[in-house]
Amino acid sequence: MQTKEIIKLKDITVSFDGEPVLSGLDLNISDGEFVTLLGPSGCGKTTTLRIIGGFVTPDSGSVFFDGQDIADLPPYKRQVNTIFQRYALFPHLNVEDNVAFGMRVQKKKPAEIKETVDRMLKLVNLAGFNKRKVETLSGGQQQRVAIARALANNPRVLLLDEPLAALDLKLRKDMQVELKNIQKSLGITFIYVTHDQEEALSMSDTVVVMDAGRIQQIGTPQDIYNEPENAFVADFIGESNILDGIMHEDYLVEFFGRKFKCLDAGFGPKEPVDVVIRPEDIDIVPADKGHLTGKVTAVTFKGVHFETIVDFKGFKWMIQTTDYYPVDSVIGIVLNPEDIHIMKKSEYSGMFGDYSSYSEEFDEMANPEIDLTEEAEVQE
Ligand SMILES: Nc1ncnc2c1ncn2[C@@H]1O[C@H](COP(=O)(O)OP(=O)(O)O)[C@@H](O)[C@H]1O
Ligand SMILES: [Mg+2]
């Protein structure tokens, strides 16, 4: 499907107080797309949104909307609206007056305003809430009002900055589905910011993974999960065991002194690589039947599966399995070619994907002395 580009960020650079916040950011967004900027706190997501909204001027680089450079266009002239984590409703106005606010500023006709308010409230499942005071609404309902208010201005692009972060888990999941449905039914572009990988994977057409002011990978949720481009992405999106390997030839990688068939090609001869193995892809077998043999060091029941930490020659892997293997069991594992994913070495190599520290944290959490000391300190 050929889609039209609505927003283009080209080689954007921003520093605050001499600290680089965005470095050479390039991003193209198609009309009608649900795009999510995903990354840890401080990686530059909000700054990127604010550049699109016109609230931050980049030090260098360009912003295009429908192919036009909009550097000189003030925020209120951009066909863009923003929804924040804090709903920023007018507390002294009722629901209807909040939603109608922008349209009244634009001097729209009362009949048109009334029709739009009712349509928007219906869209966000608040039909009939017109006269309710906003302070009598729950957090979820207030966020719906904020969404209705933003959409009432008929933006081409909606910017959403962690809009569900203040809601509890169950409500957040419901609102994820509702927001996705609203986006589909209106067909407008959503640019969504979150640090929650599951939220990003479940809502988006395209996920933009960011770290340290740079885009690490752009792709569909499946691409990002199945084909992470570097150790940062592999670690940030779900759980990953990441180890050092050497590509011997196309489709043949070595790690832990053993050669494995894989599905990756195009690396140099004997190129050092990072190997990712997802915890849910590993099959546990009797020790004498395994490609590798290890010893279970920790087990946590997670409902759907057991999170099992296994020591392979001092390197600890996470395995998610529905079978229970108690601590100290000696197990074997089998790795199929499709379970092994090869990545280029990057500045993130060696930083992620070993669960040694994970199980140490776990030991600490189970240590009552530490908990008691902290509690005592808090009470003083
Ligand atoms: N107005 C500002 N002045 C100084 N530093 C800022 C300002 N806005 C953001 N920063 C810094 O820029 C970095 C990126 O911030 P931000 O874009 O808000 O990240 P994110 O939304 O991904 O958490 C952070 O280190 C933050 O402290
Ligand atoms: Mg932010």
**Per-residue pLDDT tens for 205-214?**
999 999 999 9
Give yes or no for residue 278 CB within 6 A of ligand 1. no
Q: Which CATH superfamily is domain 5-226 in?
A: P-loop containing nucleotide triphosphate hydrolases (3.40.50.300)
Facing residues of 20 across strands? 15
Confidence at residue 2, expressed as pLDDT on a 0 to 100 scale:
59
Q: What is the pTM of this model?
A: 0.89
Which CATH number describes the domain made up of 231-365?
Answer: 2.40.50.140
Residue 22 CA neighbour count, 13 Å, CB half: 26
Give yes or no for residue 139 CB within 6 A of ligand 1. no
The residue contributing the CA closest to ligand 1 atom 10 is 16
Give yes or no for residue 45 CB within 6 A of ligand 1. yes
Which regions of the chain are under pLDDT 50?
A: 359-380
The residue contributing the CA closest to ligand 1 atom 9 is 47
Buried b (16+ CB within 10 A) or exposed e, 192-207: bbbbbbebbbebbbbb
DSSP output for 124-190: TT-TT-TT-BGGGS-HHHHHHHHHHHHHHT--SEEEEESTTTTS-HHHHHHHHHHHHHHHHHHT-EE
Give yes or no for residue 43 CB within 6 A of ligand 1. yes
What amino acid occupies position 91?
P
Q: Which two tokens stand for residue 250?
A: 């196309």
Q: Which two tokens stand for residue 58?
A: 């980049």
For the chain, give every domain's residue range: 5-226, 231-365
Instruction: List pLDDT tens digits, range 195-229.
Output: 999 999 999 999 999 999 999 999 999 999 999 99
CA of 82 to the centre of ligand 1 (A): 17
Q: Which two tokens stand for residue 111?
A: 């009949």
